[in-house]
Structure 1
Amino acid sequence: MFGIHDLPLFILSGLLLNIMPGPDSLLIMTRSATQGWRAGVAATLGIGAGTMIHVLAAALGLSAILATSATAFMVVKYAGAAYIIYMAIGLLRSRRRDPASPSAVAPLPYAKILAQGFLTNVLNPKVAIFFLAFVPQFIAPDASGKALAFVVLGCIFNVNGMLWSIALALFTARASARIKVNPTLSLWLNRATGGLFIWLGIKLALSKPN
């Protein structure tokens, strides 16, 4: 159908790739651990929306520009790195809602968490190049509707990724509730995640299109 072949292998490979840890998983786990599963799901929805932008851009050929233009790749790469480091600074500066009491860290609005997930994903040029390299392997060379096949496979990949991410959010939130993460630990979890995001931002800034 649509020139797609080896669909079970695509689904399995996509699931394994989604399980691999990265900035998206880190964001989901941090928000779930500190604000509950709804915050993790908000991050997941943002990431899913960002992934769809990459899928549609790749299907339309726009992502090929990132793969062939060093300037375009550099601009998007530095924008993504700057945003990740900006988020990291916010996490490093996390404070309790009321310094005079041991209350929880002030929560972020779900809309802002969704925006974080979206921008973290959509400003990563490596994701765009990944789709260009991975998805066409499962589309027949003589397929008449390659763009449609690309979108179909991209949607399958994204849905599987979101299901995994929602499961990760639920698991992290439940584990956090069971071990009863106290406000001080929650505060330092945000700061530790901020340190990891600094590293990820620098790693992205130094990356090459390969």
Structure 2
Amino acid sequence: MNPLTLSVLRDEHSALAAMLRSVLLLLADHRQRGTLPDFAVLRAMLFYLDEFPEKRHHRKETELLFPKLRARTPLARPILDNLDQDHACGERRIRDLEHALLAFELMGESRREDFEQAMARYVEFYLAHMALEEREILPLAERVLTADDWRELDTAFSTNRDPLTGHDAEQAYRELFTRIVNLAPAPIGLGPASGAPKPATWLRAN
């Protein structure tokens, strides 16, 4: 059995990791060249993080997958509690990043390091969060959830797919994702980044 839910989660984790690393690549490239980044692109990337991982991906994990796991086994309940707490704090973390980005845009060089450090902390936190889910939670779900559980989850996880995993963007989001893909550095987009390879062709925004 190969549940669609697990494929969706792993694909979305990969897309999110690529997005996060692309932000760091973009910032490092501009710091090295002594230039300011395209703040509109950074705002678009943070907006993506808020709209898809925070409001869709995490909500499905917290409201659908994690309750089923708690109902089937007492294993990993402390881990699930910690992951839910991470999800609950996600919007605040994004707001803090957006504030730091606005300060960088308005105040200039004096706020560059503050934003870079805030972004680096966010990326480190998020990569560790996803690694924990991949290492502990998804294998546990494969072991303990039933066929009926997976049918219900697969139906829910098949909707509102992340465009950065190769699925067509909803009409309202097409301009946003086209902008991200065209201007963000590899591995998530087509924009330049020092020493970075061009992105894979699976990335589609329209």
* TM-score between both structures, scaled by the size of structure 1: 0.36
- With the length of structure 2 as denominator, give the TM-score of the two structures: 0.36
Task: Identify the structure with bigger relative contact order (alpha carbons < 8 Å, sequence gap 6+).
Answer: 1
